[in-house]
Structure 1
């Protein structure tokens, strides 16, 4: 059975752990969107792996790893990840496939990202300065786009880079007063990337169709979360790609009809990094308690995450647009010890109650949460392995999440380790 795993919040939901667990049952894991701005943390045998571009299946020695065409590929960061994993004994000789159609993040994209954010000041979007937005902008603009396939034609690539950087330098100087970038330096970097990564470059869409036709099980791994989706998220405080399950097909070349299982990942509460509306945010002692207990600091940036109660309106919307038919609820253990818990099933907006998520940032800023309150539990959940052995109040909380989102819960995370997971039998 093929499966697509995506986050249903603003990212950082715990997708990496879920994918790592499910990868044991799959032959291929595919990243289909985003770039090195996404961070996945996987813990195996007490070793922590922070992955940004490499699919989470990388730590499974018999799992093929695919970088799909929808990813904006940062070869500098990817090589560091690849070499770091190889130093730990992982081999990728016959199990790594990088799409020739993936667009490439280069040094001038990162500079452009940083300069633009600095110039925007208090109006900045809150990017990770990894060059993701500028790379996607070049992809859409086409004229200045560099794809992985271009590494195969060094002379043509050199001409292309000279033209691109000549234009970019004019903008950097005139608009931002920045020093120019040396095109030869960028070209030489690309030559290095090509030599080290060339053997992995291929037509990944062809590979995936053949894998599925031969009966292999494929797992599609999303990055970030549906509420950051360029088209369906809280615009403009979103990422530059389709981070919901809707991005799977365009980012891999595989239609949704080939995938039976769409699993959405949520935390038992809600977090957000950077700017943007966040109705259930608790900018108080409750939020700080969740942040400290859940270690809520960004994998990619180290920034403290904003924390709040579970937003059922947002999660229900994200599940609906993505065709989600299962939920994985992570970090349930973080809520242990809190006397009272809250879930938001609806908003009050301009005097009217609504249970549909308004993606317009202005509307969302004005939304007031209507809460349902639940009794907490004091028991430590970190070693609980069976759903029936959870505290009654924890089970009531999970059942409320199912009722409010309209999606059954199949997995519950009770800690960072691979084995700290509960499978909920829904009959």
Structure 2
């Protein structure tokens, strides 16, 4: 394990159970690193039998008290949200804050980003993305537009105030709204600096940790899933940052990084939060039962997730673009007792059969008819039919399923021989 570096990534539209998987593997690693996303992520983990939802804090191990945590420059940070998370988990594990590193180059999510997020969704009408309204997209837009506020800007109050004044002036001109008109740059700065004081010992330059990370064992924790990736997902119904392994170097500054293994996490069925195409969505009572039994409600928003069946075309696409070389299957126990389990093996579009897909634009048509193969169900995960299901998935995806999650607790897993 010494010096080993792995990544754990989602292969669907997020909510695959990555937080629990990361928490399980984490005990063997010196560093846990978040490299992209923002507080729109919601990774559910259990410490001491208590449930926590990490939006920004890496999903660390409670059994490794020397483990260090890094939030890289590619993460969009809401300091208020992060402070609440650290304070909450510190009631169970006392030294979390002492082990936390936050890259100074990370961009901040501020009050006006959340207002823009809400207004933007409203104006899109029936074309709304269905964002979490956490301000992630607008903050990323400011970053790309070179007007974002970075953590390092907090060290220079004059510069910080100038940046805030410019941003608020621009946004008031673009967005005519009461909430935007009420914003005061000085009040925002004072509130921001007060919260930042809590993290004054945690803000670091990459030079402070780069060499140590390169010589340590590291687990890189992905957010959302490949199908939400800004470049490779079901655009425009995607998130604003990278969800693939390609985002790791960009979001950490660790150039020429070599990963020993990339785990892809997939759920035994499929869910999606928000708008966008979902060819295998089941809007019948079967889908509703999946939602209830699987507890499929958004960890960030509480919204009910749309539920459906496994889609092999999208999974093959995700495997191809994420570069995974091993799989983790989660929530197969939710399917216990179902007599026949549908798996989508092809699409029919305008009378033509597709067994593979590379153009995400095809998903934007309403003419997709999923073609299913029905697998024999299982009573429990020791049932021979479950093993047949797993082998079928391995054959179809061309990657081995190394780990199976059997429940919500961190240690509810087994490795397949």
TM-score (norm 1): 0.93
Query: Cα gap change, 1:22/1:208 in structure 2, threshold over 3 Å: closer, same or farther?
Result: farther
C-alpha distance in 2 between matches for 1:363 and 1:105: 30
Secondary structure of the equivalent of 2:360? coil
Which shows bigger deviation, 309-318 or 90-99? 90-99
Rounded to whole Å, the distance in 1 between the matches of 2:288 and 2:165 is: 49
RMSD across aligned positions (CA): 1.7
Question: How far apart are residue 188 of structure 1 and its match?
Answer: 0.6
Q: Does the Cα contact within 8 Å between 2:37 and 2:240 map onto a contact in 1?
A: yes
Matched, 1:50 2:53: yes
Distance in 1 (CA, whole Å) between partners of 2:390 and 2:109 is 41
Q: Corresponding residue for 1:394?
A: 386
Preserved contact between residue 171 and residue 180 of structure 2 (Cα < 8 Å): no
Structure 2 partner of 1:229: 229
Residue 193 (structure 1) aligns with: 195
Pairing 1:31–2:23 present? no
Residues 344-371 of structure 1, C-alpha deviations (whole Å, 9 max, x = no match): 2222233132312431165554332222
> What secondary structure sits across from 1:91 in the alignment?
coil
After TM superposition, give the deviation of residue 193 of structure 1 in Å.
Answer: 2.4
| Closer/same/farther in 2, CA of residues 412 and 208 from structure 1, 3 Å limit | farther
Q: For residue 43 of structure 1, report the CA deviation from its aligned partner.
A: 1.6
Superposition deviation, residue 100 in structure 1: 0.8
What SS does the aligned partner of 1:199 have?
coil
CA distance in 2, matches of 1:13, 1:205: 34
Determine the structure 1 residue equivalent to 2:338. Answer: 338
Q: Deviations over 1:279-332 (max 9, x none)?
A: 111111111111111100000000000111111111111111111000000001
1:386 aligned residue: none
8 Å Cα contact 2:112/2:180 also seen in 1:
no
Give the structure 1 partner of residue 348 of structure 2: 348
State how many pairs are aligned. Answer: 412
Rounded to whole Å, the distance in 2 between the matches of 1:48 and 1:72 is 24
Distance 1:65 1:177, change over 3 A: closer
Q: How does 1:156-305 map to 2 (within 5 A)?
A: 156-173=159-176, 179-204=181-206, 207-213=209-215, 216-255=216-255, 257-305=257-305
C-alpha distance after superposition, 1:350-397 (max 9, x if no partner): 313231243116555433222221110123x4xxxxxxxx11011111
Counterpart-to-counterpart distance in 2, 1:205 and 1:371: 52
Whether the 8 Å CA contact 1:226–1:245 is kept in 2: the answer is no
Structure 1 residues 210 and 46: CA distance shift in structure 2, 3 A: closer
Of 1, 4, 13 in structure 2, the residue corresponding to residue 10 of structure 1 is: 13
Counterparts of 1:259 and 1:419, CA distance in 2: 24
Distance 1:47 1:406 in 2: 37
Larger deviation, residues 349-358 vs 155-164? 349-358
Q: Structure 2: where are the runs of 5+ without partners?
A: none
Q: Which residue does 1:69 correspond to in 2?
A: 73
For residues 177 and 422 of structure 1, what CA distance do their matches in structure 2 show? 51
Contact kept, 8 Å, 2:11 with 2:318, in 1: the verdict is: yes
C-alpha separation in 1, matches of 2:394 and 2:207:
35
Shift of 1:17: 0.6
Give the secondary-structure state (helix, strand or coil) at the position aligned to 1:163: helix
Q: Matches of 2:155 and 2:362 in 1, distance apart?
A: 43
Matched-pair contact (CA < 8 Å) for 2:115–2:180: no
Q: Is the 8 A contact 2:12 2:270 kept in 1?
A: yes
Deviations 1:216-261 (A, max 9, x none): 1000000000000000000000000011222112111234652110
> 2 CA distance for matches of 1:9 and 1:256?
27
**Whole-Å separation in 1 of the counterparts to 2:188 and 2:287:** 44
- The one of 374, 389, 399 equivalent to 1:407 is 399
Does the Cα contact within 8 Å between 2:336 and 2:377 map onto a contact in 1?
Answer: yes
Give the whole-Å Cα distance in 2 for the aligned partners of 1:375 and 1:410.
22
**Distance in 2 (alpha carbons) for counterparts of 1:194 and 1:45:** 29
Q: CA deviation at 1:46?
A: 1.7
Tell me, yes or no, if structure 1 residue 85 matches structure 2 residue 89. Answer: yes
Distance 1:263 1:243, change over 3 A: same
Unaligned runs of 5+ in 1: 382-389
Residues 279 and 62 of structure 1, relative CA distance in 2, 3 Å threshold: same
